[in-house]
A and B are shown apart, each in its own frame.
Chain A
């Protein structure tokens, strides 16, 4: 139980990171690869938030009086993740646009078949 308490969030976060990386390295379909990118990003965000957590902490918002500042979780990783989520959606939109365009050109989304350019 203690082990779970300490590591479950890290396991979840890096589990997502590795599933994402595996999709990116192995899958051939471009949309699948972009799905992998999204999973990878989600894993990284979960890791960053988990770094800032404090046991039995409260959200860093003084919404009512009587909240103890000592118990508040770290606001910095939350700010970083807010920024990164927006960056992630920007990259995703661009990638999907390119995928649509690529399908128009080649008629396939299989990355192994799209090999006009090579070393």
Chain B
């Protein structure tokens, strides 16, 4: 169990770093979405189903959508 959790956390941190590094903002937002999704899984493993649901519905779905809308209205690449 702890091995799976460690791998998940490692993946989460890696995608956070990817979100920090990428110049393409749209891909960075997708990486952010992955961070949120893994965080939702971790919340579920920590016995917090309410929070997991909220994080999946708000953090992963709606926040990503708002980011994508904002990027469409501005610029896709970081200069």
Enumerate chain A interface residues (CB-CB to B < 8 A).
Answer: 1, 4-5, 8-9, 11-12, 15-16, 19-20, 22-23, 27-29, 31-32, 34-36, 38-39, 42, 45-46, 49-50, 52-53, 57-61, 73, 78, 81-82, 85-86, 88-89, 92-93, 96-97, 99-100, 103, 108-110
Contacts and interface: CB of A to CB of B under 8 A. Distances in A.
A27 B25 CA distance: 12
Chain B interface main SS type:
helix
A16 B51 CA distance: 18
Interface of B: 2, 5-6, 9, 12-13, 16-17, 19-20, 25, 28-29, 32, 35-36, 39, 42-43, 46-51, 54-55, 58-59, 62-63, 66-67, 69-71, 73-75, 78-79
A97 B70 CA distance: 7
